Structure 1
Amino acid sequence: MATVIRLWDVRTGEPLREVAVSTGWQWSVLSVAFSPDGRTLAGAGNIGVGLWNAHTGEALASWGDTESVESVTFSPDGRHLASVDDEHLILWDAHTGEQVFSLREGSPTEPMCGVAFSPDGQTLAVGGGNQLLLRDARTGRVRQALAGLTGRPEDNYKESLTFVESVAFSPDGQLLASASTDAICLWTTHP
């Protein structure tokens, strides 16, 4: 049984093509992202990050084949790829596969699950467990830790608000959405 990524025509709802990810049980795809030019498809899964030609399905590269990667995203200029696994945020050179930086985030009990570049490519949002961090995309330095994910009533959020699963910036970069197990929150990214 092959694991595939299916590409769909959004106008008709019909499948366009399938990208074969593996010919066995090895790959389980958890996240996909297109490069900004639409030529490359990145997939994150139980054995790392894979890149494929989005038009032909040809396998181009695979990296980090020892960790289960939860999420992957391209920088707006297509030069970098960010991924998160249970305990790491990794910024990759999208052309060479070399790690620009690797930072320990999260833990096995509170894994990192979401990563997104801001539209200007300067900031990475990283979420998982009860953490939501804004990091400098060049250095990985924390710019801001967003409050309200502690589950404490005094934070003015639902007591059960925990476990960030996904993050996304608005097109203008002024808002960040985080999806948790029990809520979707909108955050302003600039004071």
Structure 2
Amino acid sequence: MRNLCVYCGSSPGRRDDYVAAARAFARELVARDLGLVYGGASVGVMGAVADAVLAEGGRVTGVIPQALQEKELAHPGLTELHVTGSMHERKTRMAELADGFVAMPGGVGTLEELFEIWTWAQLGWHHKPCALLNVAGYYDGLGTFLDHATEEQFLRPHHRGMLIVESQPAALLDRMAGYQPPQAKQWVKKDDL
């Protein structure tokens, strides 16, 4: 892996833990010589992780749609900034630039990005790891729901197992580095569609 895409909130959230975790994650990225690919904003958890990677001397690539460039306050000090014409182009470009994907605490946009890229992995369109950094139990409820979806047979166990979940940055990155995608025969079958 050379670059990881991080999906996260443009808000700092209610708890200081979220920004603190973004900074800890950034230190781990730089220690492992991993570049950051993210949504390009200078605010919230997004801004915190970018600022921390830059402060540690790391590489940061932002990808932001033209329409959000001013609304989300595009980060002025990135290694590289890509401005796209749409959200779809943004997500596609981020996927092209990254070797893996991590969702940190965020809102609906963060979840949408995670679920889309995880769906692409489930379909076999890429073989890159997808993960949740479960800061202060933020994603516990989501994990419970995904287990329920698996029990109800709307999510196959091997697809559920594709999503790496850890609460500590080092453990998460270790698991992502050792990720092995399911064999092709386990990908989506006709009855999954």
TM-score, length-normalised on structure 2?
Answer: 0.27
**Which structure would you say has the larger RCO, counting Cα contacts within 8 Å and 6 or more residues apart?**
2
Higher alpha-carbon Rg: 1
TM-score, length-normalised on structure 1?
Answer: 0.27
